[in-house]
Amino acid sequence: MEKVALLKCDNYDLDLVEKKIREGFELLGGDGFIKSLIPYNSKLLLKPNMLSAEPRDSIVVTSPVIFEAVIRIIKDYTDNISFGDSPGFGDSKRAALKIGLMDIADKYGVKFDEFKEEIHVRLDDSLLIKSWNVSKAAYESDVLITLPRIKTHAMAHYTGAIKNQFGCVIGTSKASFHTRVPEAENFSKMLLDLNKVVNTSFAILDGIVAMQGNGPKSGTPYNLKTIVMGKSLPSVDSVGSYLIGYNNPLDIPALKEALNSGYKGVLLNDIDILGENIEKLKAVNFKKAIERKDFTFGNNFLTNTLRNLITPNPWLNKDKCISCKRCSEVCPKKPGVISMKEENGKIYPDFKLTNCIRCFCCQELCPVGAIEPKYSLAARALKFNKR
């Protein structure tokens, strides 16, 4: 069985977080486990979530407290530590500075890689994608430890350890995947392939304060008070998603595809959960993201028509919109989906939904949370909206 450590952690006090993560490693096998995970002086990369340049206490990104606590622990095993990410929009160095990761890295002699240099590799045993361009630093690391946060997501429903490595695809190249594999099933296969490419070694999932609602950028905080740790990304995500109310891990597209593709430790019965009782830490009244409902029918025209009818659409809150045009810039289907139009002296994005692939990049990267996924009146009448 795959092993996962589940810890209760009430807040972001640095000493407390370090203590809890050390407890997690002890549950998984202690010093011997860490030495097997991190061979002496191996090249180790920390992969935080730096979705955008956010304040250090933001629930959008990896907490700098988690980042520092992990560095305190692993520096006893290797001096060759770096960190990096490629945000969906903007500059990674600016994000690292604003979040507070750069100051911590400088304090402990941890190097920063901007993920600007990519390498082309092949994955012959892929589920879907064989040809890849990824961050050279991520690919060439000996050990990659991912530091995601539990968040909701319009397309993935839940985002955690598996999806965090999407940041190893550099910059605007991410948009091409939304166009190439817009369906949740294939997008999930792509993410599983990506984790094979960069060989993600271990996950430390921050659920001390999770994001609920309109994630992964504009949701609200939920004090879940948990940390989840393990080598198996599907197992870590299965525990993480269960904590926020997904009783069946197969409701999460990435976990469903992991099970279908032969990954072990997807179902809770196949996971040895060490530490806390998962039932005692489960969230109450956690607000999930609006979920997509994808169906397959024999007739392609009928399939597309019904999918457009019952899948949530990007909806603009004009009161929040600041006319920054970021949504139109990050749309992987541009031009053709989002155009900027003037209305009452202000410029707003206008969506041509017949061309929209519902990847929700616009919602994910809107700096002010002005875009939300919402069902049409027809879909609500058909009761596809669970809310």
- pLDDT tens figures, 79-128: 999 999 998 767 899 999 999 999 999 999 999 999 999 999 999 999 99
Same domain, 257 and 369: no
- In total, how many domains does the chain have? 2
Q: What is the pTM of this model?
A: 0.83
pLDDT score at 298: 40
Can you tell me the distance from the alpha carbon of 83 to that of 72, in angstroms, rounded to the nearest whole number? Answer: 14
DSSP 8-state symbol, 238: H
The answer to whether residue 135 is domain-embedded is yes
Q: What is the per-residue pLDDT across 146-156, written as a single tens digit (0 to 9) for each?
A: 999 999 998 88
Q: For 24-103, where are the E strands, in sequence order?
A: 44-48, 81-84
* Separation in Å, CA 186 to CA 127, 177, 178, 180, 192: 9, 10, 10, 9, 10
Asked if residue 292 belongs to a domain, the reply is no
Q: What's the average model confidence in pLDDT over 313-340?
A: 87
Q: Tell me what pLDDT residue 359 has.
A: 78
Average pLDDT, integer, range 312-332: 88
Please indicate, yes or no, whether residues 219 and 341 belong to a single structural domain of this protein.
no
pLDDT of residue 373: 82
Is the pLDDT assigned to residue 43 strictly greater than 80?
yes
Whether residue 13 is found in the same domain as residue 114: yes
Q: Which residue has the tokens 């997509």?
A: 292
Pairwise pLDDT comparison (278 vs 173), residue with the higher score? 278
Q: Taking Cα atoms as reference points, which of 74, 71, 99 lies closest to residue 85? A: 99
- The predicted pLDDT at position 98 comes to 95
Q: pLDDT-based confidence at 375, cuts 50/70/90?
A: low
Answer yes or no: do 345 and 265 share one domain.
no
Query: Confidence band (pLDDT; 50, 70, 90) for 296?
Result: very low
Among candidate residues 254, 281, 308, the one where a domain is terminated: 281
Nearest alpha carbon to residue 7 among 245, 239, 247: 239
pLDDT of residue 235: 98
In a domain, 368, yes or no: yes
Residue 294 lies in a domain: no
Q: Are residues 275 and 312 in the same domain?
A: no
Query: What CATH number is given to the structural domain containing 328?
Result: 3.30.70.20
pLDDT score for 95? 94
Domain span including residue 237 = 2-281
d(CA 269, CA 285): 24
Confidence at 292, pLDDT banded by 50, 70, 90: low
Q: Are residues 37 and 151 in the same domain?
A: yes
- Angle (deg, nearest 10), helices 14-28 and 30-37: 90
The answer on pLDDT for 297 being more than 60 is no
